[in-house]
Structure 1
């Protein structure tokens, strides 16, 4: 049914976005099973839930493992719902809809997709396509056709999937003029691979320079979650393997540079580590700057900020308006051992500079040390 690969995990970290879950009155805003698909209730609870719920992310992480890695959609539904009851999020509703549809509960899948849309799930085209599949399985041919054409209008581009997806079998066979309507919708779409790339790349908004990415920058990530649909552009998504100990989330940061030949973008990764007591411990996010051709092919990539390992250095990035990328590595000592106690409520004792380098983005999109580039230009 979907283009979403069955691999890996995503989990938001409370450390990146704070903790919370209380409204202004100090009372926790919560849904109930009877209100989980009620638009007004979902909107109100989402608006009155502050920060991020660590418990909700833990349940979402478990649900993703059961659904995608254990390949047990039905078994994941309870965990997705538990995560939503603790904190409604677009990604949780979207994945719940997928699990429900794979379990052949099309009616509830439609409700779940509607809640994901209400909470502004991105990319919308993927959600609309899955919603069309659900209406087809539910044998509502008019709604299935409507949402399928809407999905194409919003950027869905896999014609082969539309013509062969078993979930769309009902609408393909029962709707007169279905194929001609679909072909007409696709007629002005252009190259599917380029459309998929544009759908990904346009989610990165131009960044304001100068830009500093240090620990505090994680608060800026918000809900800019990169969908699993785009794993072809994010190598860490393709390589990620879920284990009991760790799962990863991916976020859009923004566009650094755009030319007629390439785009230079930054995305963030946050890893969730689960201890034996099933407590999620927080770690700093880390950030990659990546150049792609204008058809989405990788040109070059560099780690520009953050920390990938508990005992590794922390990297800070300062990106100047003129294009210089200053990267500084620090050895940080904390009051408590981060590997045992995490980074939350664990102040720095000292920060010692290890090394500093300055890079530039070359005319062909590569990242080159500035001293080397200056020598080449002489």
Structure 2
């Protein structure tokens, strides 16, 4: 019943302000409407697909909050990003920063807006909302959202039992421990739940498929939450520079069998300046195989250019999931090491290497020459 009621609430929130009209392409929120459901939903629906200025502010805020551990300093930056373009990921991180600075009423409102905009994974959002209610000393609301988080896939029982943000709930509600244990008893194997939350966001890719510069337009708003850094090594290694960091995107599933899943995700290190006419289409792409618990089996850069000195790689994936990687030496009009890739057209492109691969029965990526040798 709890799941049904939450889904009904989400559907009701999603209908707020939906007039069916999309005419104002410069729609913006104000501070007064920051947490107004009708306004947020309408502006989100009537905003351009991509707002580079909003993305740059979001990455500045993430740098401040996650890397510099300065929650208070990140709030204005998250807020500025939301005012430029309301996005689920920005409201979610804003809620986290507000909760850390104990601005609890605003934190709960920010989480509500993230839910309104269909933040995923919902279990993380519900858990953090439960923490905010516990810190606000509202045990009934805390219990509701904590149990809902578990039912929606939250799997860290140890954290639920020890999280200091939930201390008030655990101490004030004598049955809190038994309720948590009961909820987790029906939630499945904890070690796999987190992985499943991550993996299910990757939709099956249509084959055959080519991933080149133009493919970046397909990424849209399929952002990977920073909560999943255990599966995306580049999130842990990400270094923020020139006041811009990295964005991460779900691309899709290449192969899914009983023993493993092969997925593709994208990393984008560069965001266009405000007013630029060119999208930041210099994402680079990793193909990675994971076992059923989310343990990495193999990983390979399959497309894009991760640094200025590297060749540009294009991936062509066949219907049988065999794939070909072609490397090009690209000459740009300006030195990308100084000017970056944005608004820096190609002068020439020369093919320098081509290699073919297949996915082995255990999920590794092997050259096709090896496959031919085995078949002899």
TM-score, normalising length: structure 2: 0.89
User: Quick one: distance in 1 between partners of 2:351 and 2:242?
Assistant: 34
Q: Paired residue for 1:160?
A: 158
Answering whether residue 244 of structure 2 is matched by residue 262 of structure 1, we say no
| Secondary structure in structure 2 of the residue aligned to 1:37 | coil
Answering whether residue 190 of structure 2 is matched by residue 192 of structure 1, we say yes
Give the C-alpha shift of residue 274 in structure 1: 9.4
4+ residue segments displaced more than 6 Å: none
User: Quick one: distance in 1 between partners of 2:258 and 2:23?
Assistant: 52
User: Quick one: distance in 1 between partners of 2:27 and 2:279?
Assistant: 24
Residues 324, 354 of structure 2: 8 Å contact kept: yes
User: Quick one: distance in 2 between partners of 1:247 and 1:116?
Assistant: 22
| Secondary structure in structure 1 of the residue aligned to 2:29 | coil
User: Quick one: distance in 2 between partners of 1:339 and 1:30?
Assistant: 35
Give the C-alpha shift of residue 240 in structure 1: 1.9
Residues 271, 283 of structure 1: 8 Å contact kept: no
Give the C-alpha shift of residue 206 in structure 1: 1.1
Give the C-alpha shift of residue 291 in structure 1: 0.8
TM-score, normalising length: structure 1: 0.88
| Secondary structure in structure 2 of the residue aligned to 1:135 | helix
Task: Check 1:331–1:245 CA distance in 2 against 1; reply closer, same or farther (3 A cut).
Answer: farther
Aligned alpha-carbon RMSD (Å): 2.0
User: Quick one: distance in 2 between partners of 1:353 and 1:27?
Assistant: 41
Q: Paired residue for 1:87?
A: 85
Give the C-alpha shift of residue 212 in structure 1: 0.8
Give the C-alpha shift of residue 261 in structure 1: 1.1
Pick aligned residue for 1:358 from 347, 356, 359: 356
| Secondary structure in structure 1 of the residue aligned to 2:230 | helix
Task: Check 1:273–1:323 CA distance in 2 against 1; reply closer, same or farther (3 A cut).
Answer: closer
User: Quick one: distance in 2 between partners of 1:283 and 1:47?
Assistant: 23
User: Quick one: distance in 2 between partners of 1:263 and 1:122?
Assistant: 20
User: Quick one: distance in 1 between partners of 2:48 and 2:144?
Assistant: 36
Note the 1:140-289 alignment, pairs <5 A: 140-244=138-242, 246-272=244-270, 282=280, 284-289=282-287
Residues 141, 174 of structure 1: 8 Å contact kept: yes
| Secondary structure in structure 1 of the residue aligned to 2:357 | strand
Residues 264, 286 of structure 2: 8 Å contact kept: yes
For residues 137-192 of structure 1, give each alpha carbon's deviation from its aligned partner in whole angstroms, at most 9, with x where no partner exists. Answer: 11211111100001000100111111111111122122242222211111122321
Q: Paired residue for 1:57?
A: 55
Residues 63, 245 of structure 2: 8 Å contact kept: no
Q: Paired residue for 2:303?
A: 305
Residues 281, 341 of structure 1: 8 Å contact kept: no
Stretch moving more, 301-310 or 281-290: 281-290
Give the C-alpha shift of residue 220 in structure 1: 1.1
| Secondary structure in structure 2 of the residue aligned to 1:81 | helix
Aligned residues: 352
Residues 284, 303 of structure 2: 8 Å contact kept: yes
Answering whether residue 103 of structure 2 is matched by residue 98 of structure 1, we say no
For residues 18-73 of structure 1, give each alpha carbon's deviation from its aligned partner in whole angstroms, at most 9, with x where no partner exists. Answer: xxxxx954651110001000011001111111132222122212212222222221
Residues 106, 138 of structure 1: 8 Å contact kept: yes
User: Quick one: distance in 2 between partners of 1:195 and 1:272?
Assistant: 32
Residues 56, 86 of structure 1: 8 Å contact kept: yes
Task: Check 1:88–1:67 CA distance in 2 against 1; reply closer, same or farther (3 A cut).
Answer: same
Give the C-alpha shift of residue 74 in structure 1: 1.4
Residues 272, 281 of structure 1: 8 Å contact kept: no
Task: Check 1:86–1:226 CA distance in 2 against 1; reply closer, same or farther (3 A cut).
Answer: same
Stretch moving more, 237-246 or 306-315: 237-246
Task: Check 1:28–1:288 CA distance in 2 against 1; reply closer, same or farther (3 A cut).
Answer: same
Residues 253, 261 of structure 2: 8 Å contact kept: yes
| Secondary structure in structure 1 of the residue aligned to 2:269 | strand
User: Quick one: distance in 2 between partners of 1:26 and 1:105?
Assistant: 33
Give the C-alpha shift of residue 349 in structure 1: 2.7
User: Quick one: distance in 2 between partners of 1:141 and 1:152?
Assistant: 16
Give the C-alpha shift of residue 268 in structure 1: 0.6
Give the C-alpha shift of residue 296 in structure 1: 1.2
User: Quick one: distance in 1 between partners of 2:161 and 2:258?
Assistant: 34
Q: Paired residue for 1:4?
A: none
Give the C-alpha shift of residue 107 in structure 1: 0.6
Higher relative contact order by CA 8 Å / sep ≥ 6: 1 or 2?
A: 1
Give the C-alpha shift of residue 79 in structure 1: 1.1
Give the C-alpha shift of residue 235 in structure 1: 1.3
Residues 283, 342 of structure 1: 8 Å contact kept: no
Q: Paired residue for 1:18?
A: none
